[in-house]
Amino acid sequence: MNLTEAMKSRHSVRQYKDIPLERDTKAELLAEIDSCNQESGLHIQLVTNEPKAFDSFMAHYGKFSGVSSYIAMIGKKGPDLEEKCGYYGERLVLKAQQLGLNTCWVAMTYSKIKSAFTISEGEKLCIVISVGYGKNQGGLP
Ligand SMILES: Cc1cc2nc3c(=O)[nH]c(=O)nc-3n(C[C@H](O)[C@H](O)[C@H](O)COP(=O)(O)O)c2cc1C
């Protein structure tokens, strides 16, 4: 799947199958996260096997289920943090789509589980992106 096809087929997915990321798929996603971090100076982290962030009232209200993996978009506080997270996060959701995964940007309807990622001094968690094998491909029913 090329990037244009990934853009066309990607929709937000909030219900996921209760299965972990496959090993090679996870390695490819981690490699893309690494190159995003190197290019941008962000501190993006992949969180896996962590079901609590999406097991809250807010997450269920937001219709999420089966989420145990997500990407934490973290970086140095500053005027360009949101723009950088938007650009590199979009690169990651498209990469995930190419890898057969589904995603959803989430700013509000989750709980911050502080032990799941590292926020260094001067950094901030901007937004997270749920990632996994969707029960559907999103879009209109
Ligand atoms: C910056 C940003 C924050 C978002 N925060 C949430 C959120 O907290 N909860 C949620 O369910 N969806 C959230 N979304 C996902 C949007 O609701 C989603 O993009 C919208 O439903 C469009 O769906 P589509 O991707 O299927 O076109 C967010 C999207 C963006 C871009």
113 is written with which tokens?
């589980």
Residue 121 pLDDT: 97
Q: Within 13 Å, how many C-alpha atoms sit on residue 69's CB side?
A: 21
Q: Quick one: how far is CA 7 from the chain centroid?
A: 16
| Residue in 104, 112, 130 to alter for ligand 1 test, most ligand atoms within 8 A of Cβ | 104
Q: Is the CB of 107 under 6 A from ligand 1?
A: yes
Mean pLDDT of 47-73: 92
Out of 7, 8, 12, give the residue to mutate to test ligand 1, the one with the largest number of ligand atoms within 8 Å of its CB.
Answer: 12
Mean pLDDT of the chain, nearest integer: 96
Which whole number is the average pLDDT over 102-127?
Answer: 97
Q: Where are the alpha helices (DSSP H) in the chain?
A: 3-9, 23-40, 57-61, 81-98
Cβ 82 under 6 angstroms from ligand 1: no
CATH code at 3-132: 3.40.109.10
Residues shown for the chain: 141
Residues forming beta bridges with residue 70, ordered by sequence position: 47, 130
Give the per-residue pLDDT at 39. Answer: 98
